[in-house]
Amino acid sequence: MITELTDTTTGDVSAKLVRLRSEVGSMALGRVLTLVVVIDGTGASEAIEDAIAASRQHPCRIIVVIAHDRRGTNRLDAQIRLGGDAGASEVVVLRLHGALANHGPSVVVPLLLADCPIVAWWPGEAPDDVAASSIGAMAGRRITDAAQHRDPRRILKKRAASYQRGDTNLAWTRVTRWRGLLAATLDQAPFEQVTGAAVSGAPDSPSSDLLAAWLAHRLKLPVRRVATPPGSGIGAARLERKSGMIDLVRPGDEVATLSQPGHPDRRVSLPRPTRAECLANELRRLDPDDTYEDALLHGLAKVSRSKLSLEEAIDKGIAPDPAASRRLANRLRRSAAARQAAAMIEAPDAPEAADTEQVHAATARRLQGEPTTREQPAAPSATEPSVTEGSAAAKEAGAARRSRAATTSSKTSGGSS
């Protein structure tokens, strides 16, 4: 349900919300926070859809503040979305015109949920000091995205200079899986000290800078930053230890390879998260992110940018080779497909006559992973007469076997019907 209100006031918007809630039902109850989205007209539709997708995990009231032409007539246009058009939330879109565009907080405050945390999100470019901005000052959690700025490296330095507890960045959220995989490799034997580290990533990838900053702070050593082609995102991370290199390389957008001494090479799923996924992850916690604070304030200064090209860094052993990682991923994929195909081969049928010892032996071979071969018919047991002892005994044994087979077939037919 979408309701448009043209040239309205915040009082009319709030009253309309109450009326719609009474008409639709109690769907607007149980909100856990208020998400204030601050954006200009560019990309507003995509930001609203991402906020709605994130609200399916965190039901909230979404207030979207869009500043339009500041030189026009003062006017407030609103849109209310409920039901299927709002996911697990209720969405209020406020379009501010004229001088009203400079007074966003006065429009937002009457629509805030009582006794609920306030989270502010800037999907596009954000102020240099978000905590000191008018809307950022009322929020306990402030989410920005350095990747949306023209110069991500410069904006990270500004974020560090103006950092306040509660600030976070979606560029930091995008390295969560990388951090988890690298930390897991260091939790396995051999437990050796890391003597060097390098991160390969695009020059316009602030996530690569923050990953390198996190490694520099946690490992307490300088980290080299190797440049890859623009737009490629995070390419690889290498940790040097006495026993050898730990390489986590993502040559594409979905699958990475993990190589470490003493362990088999592995393919790991490492897709690029969507903006809605990153936003939902950030809304899981409303307390300050101390790890992000340490990486931004203390680790970023320890990152040194290599002047070598990617090919030169590969030749000198500073960074892993993405092409070799792609070949390794293809080989591992083919090997996994062959193992899966072999596992799907059906085992041969059990022989009609098998004693207990044969069954136990076949089971033991299957448990040990040995290939199963078709068993030969079992020799007559001591309790059954041999067919060579006389024609009467042979006829009697054959009749008994045919009787057992007929009984088994009859039971099987009855159970399947």
Q: Please give the residue that has the higher pLDDT: either 410 or 176.
A: 176
- Name the token pair of 165: 């507890």
When the pLDDT of each residue in the chain is averaged and rounded to a whole number, the result is 84
Q: Please, which pLDDT band fits residue 70 given cuts at 50, 70 and 90?
A: confident
pLDDT of residue 295: 96
Domains of the chain: 2-170 (3.40.50), 176-272+286-340 (no CATH), 356-403 (no CATH)
pLDDT of residue 8: 84
What percent of the chain shows pLDDT beyond 90?
54
Q: Please, which pLDDT band fits residue 416 given cuts at 50, 70 and 90?
A: very low
pLDDT in tens, 286-325: 899 999 999 999 999 999 998 899 999 999 999 999 999 9
Q: Which of 295-304, 383-392, 404-413 has the highest mean pLDDT?
A: 295-304
Give the mean pLDDT of 186-209: 93
Q: Could you give the CA distance from residue 149 to residue 124 in angstroms, rounded to a whole number? A: 7
Planar angle of CA 293, 298, 302, nearest 5 degrees:
135
Contacts of 331 (CB under 8 A, 6+ apart): none
Contacts of 160 (CB under 8 A, 6+ apart): 296, 297, 300
Helix (H) or strand (E) holding 191: none
Q: Please, which pLDDT band fits residue 23 given cuts at 50, 70 and 90?
A: confident
Concatenate the DSSP letters of all residues of 329-382 into one string. HHHHHHHHHHHHHHHTSPPPPPPSS--HHHHHHHHHHHHTTPPP-PPPPPPPPT
Q: Could you give the CA distance from residue 256 to residue 200 in angstroms, rounded to a whole number? A: 13
Q: Quickly count: other Cβ atoms within 10 Å of residue 197's Cβ.
A: 21
Give the mean pLDDT of 227-241: 93
Q: For the CA atoms of the chain, what is the radius of gyration?
A: 33
Three-state secondary structure call for residue 159:
helix
pLDDT in tens, 247-279: 999 998 889 999 999 899 999 999 999 999 999
pLDDT in tens, 395-408: 565 666 666 655 55
Long-range pairs for 140-145: beta carbons < 8 A, 24 or more residues apart? 140/166, 140/286, 141/117, 141/166, 141/168, 141/282, 141/286, 142/166, 142/167, 142/168, 143/119, 143/168, 143/169, 143/170, 143/279, 143/282, 144/168, 144/169, 144/170, 145/169, 145/170, 145/171, 145/275
pLDDT in tens, 26-69: 554 567 899 999 998 788 999 999 999 998 888 889 999 998 77
pLDDT of residue 401: 62
Concatenate the DSSP letters of all residues of 5-65 into one string. E-S--HHHHHHHHHHHHHHH-STT----EEEEEEEESTTHHHHHHHHHHHHTTS-EEEEEE
pLDDT of residue 136: 93
Residues forming beta bridges with residue 38, ordered by sequence position: 65
Residue 376 predicted with pLDDT over 50: no
